[in-house]
Chain A
């Protein structure tokens, strides 16, 4: 196997005295689609947010394409990288949030072009054509001039996906992207995510959509109390859980 696209080594994270990640290790290769499941408070979202340094972490390493994210170790001393460097590293990943977090004062097109112009330094017209390509891809080209307040939740989330993917990231992070949506809007967003998976995008998803995780993932990770409790192909995780906790978790969901 070639070098993993994402490698997480012994990741530790505390909020004050509470340990939320207690030594997480895992790796994924280019093109992998991995889902993280687990009950709330198990550290799934925090893990995702450590990967692009929206959260600092206290120990361990995150490597994307072999590059250590957020910190540097020199002569045994671990230091946080300068903010500008971290900003550049963040552009290697794209993130989609539970609450969409579109910029309300910008149109759909403006939301997508902002990073292209300010981070990728694309000329305006080039940025617009890239953004339009992706808005078209998520089925919202005709809404490019709309503001987030004029879009439904599902449409907003699709714009948010376009905003992240237009930056051409190596890895996409999805944080419970359908949890804030009305049930009838979930499918349009999942369809977009599924399309990206089919295209071979490397994706890490935190999700409560078990059926979706089962269908779309190459691998599923079950987290419990800040650690990976069980990891494997969807069929193994969902059909024959080895740990007691996973069996309970799946049981609670199905009832």
Chain B
């Protein structure tokens, strides 16, 4: 392997790779924020909803979780178009990842809320707090501590899943690197480099997660 040649090629491709990385970051950030917000709602529905709502949300999460992300991405792009919802590749991709993320986060939230002993709700209500206050001050802070480690895991999954958007033509990191490779044929080097960038992004997310875990730890 000619290191100097690789570095020269990498320098030539710097903008393409940077743009791809940026796109991956944007897609991941959107999918994680939107998906987590929606997931919180899904989790609330699964935990506290009237049984009809619970049933509907349960069907949603089980259906989404039982479907490969790849299929969700393709479906969002091609099937929604048939239904008259014309999304760009970027929109369709973010939509698919958001939906996927929400079903996972929903389950995490439900699990965390249900793991809190009923005595916590009772003690809070007995003091005179409304359910909304109980949720905000007693249940959610405790659930967040449970949620965080698994949520970080889901967030890194989203970054990895964003590679699938290359199939519908979103030039994210993987596709931008593939385009570079098609010009210089340095497949081994550039794939390795792409892998390294994905690692960096996920390592960053994991560090932030660890930091947050320490910040919210019950006993500092």
- Which A residues have a C-beta under 8 Å from some C-beta of B? 52, 54, 83-84, 87-88, 90-91, 93-95, 97, 99, 101-105, 114-115, 118-119, 147, 149-150, 160, 163-164, 167
Known: A97-B119, A99-B119, A149-B219. A167 touches B142 (CB 8 A): no
State in angstroms the CA–CA spacing of A91 and B124 once bound together: 10
Chain A contact surface mostly: mixed
B128 at interface by CB-CB < 8 Å? yes
Interface class of chain B by DSSP: helix
Given contacts A104-B142, A147-B218, A147-B219, contact A119 B125 (CB under 8 A): no
Query: In the bound complex, how far is the Cα of B145 from the Cα of A147, in angstroms?
Result: 15
**How far is A104 from B144 in the complex, measured between Cα atoms in Å?**
13
Instruction: List 20 contacting pairs A-B, 8 Å CB cutoff, sorted by A.
Output: A87-B125, A87-B130, A90-B126, A90-B127, A99-B117, A101-B119, A101-B123, A102-B123, A103-B124, A104-B142, A105-B141, A105-B145, A105-B218, A118-B129, A119-B128, A147-B218, A149-B218, A149-B219, A150-B219, A163-B127
Find out whether the CB atom of A54 lies under 8 angstroms from the CB atom of B122: yes
B64 at the interface (CB under 8 A from A): no
Interface size on B, residues (CB 8 A): 21
Q: Cα distance A91–B128 when bound, in Å?
A: 4
A84 to B129, CA, bound (A): 9
State whether A115 and B129 are in contact (beta carbons under 8 Å apart), knowing that A102-B123, A104-B218 are contacts in the complex. Answer: yes
Interface string of B132-155 (1 = CB under 8 A from A): 010001100110010000000000
Asked whether A97 lies within 8 Å of B122 as measured between CB atoms, the reply is yes
Contacts A103-B138, A105-B142: A90 and B125 contacting too (C-beta < 8 A)? Answer: yes
Smallest Cβ-Cβ distance to A147: which chain B residue: B219
Q: How far is the CB of B190 from chain A (nearest CB, A)?
A: 47
Bound Cα distance from A102 to B123, whole angstroms: 7
Determine if B55 is an interface residue (Cβ-Cβ < 8 Å). no
Contacts of A119 in B (CB 8 A): 127-129, 133
Please tell me if the beta carbons of B126 and A95 are within 8 angstroms of each other in the complex: yes
Quote the shortest CB–CB distance from B177 to chain A (angstroms): 44
Q: How far is the CA of A114 from the CA of B125 in the complex (A)?
A: 12
Measured between C-beta atoms, what is the minimum distance from B44 to chain A in Å? Answer: 16
Establish whether residues B219 and A118, one from each chain, have CB atoms under 8 Å apart when the complex forms. no
CB distance from A65 to the nearest CB of B (A): 15
**A97 and B218 contacting across the interface, CB-CB below 8 Å:** no
Chain A residue nearest in CB terms to B141: A105
Q: B131 on the interface (CB 8 Å rule)?
A: yes
- Pairwise interchain contact A94-B126, C-beta atoms closer than 8 A: yes
B142 surroundings in chain A (CB, below 8 A): 103-105
Residue numbers in B under 8 Å from A150 (CB-CB): 219
Q: Is B33 in the interface zone, CB < 8 Å from A?
A: no
A52–B125 Cα distance when bound, in Å, is: 9
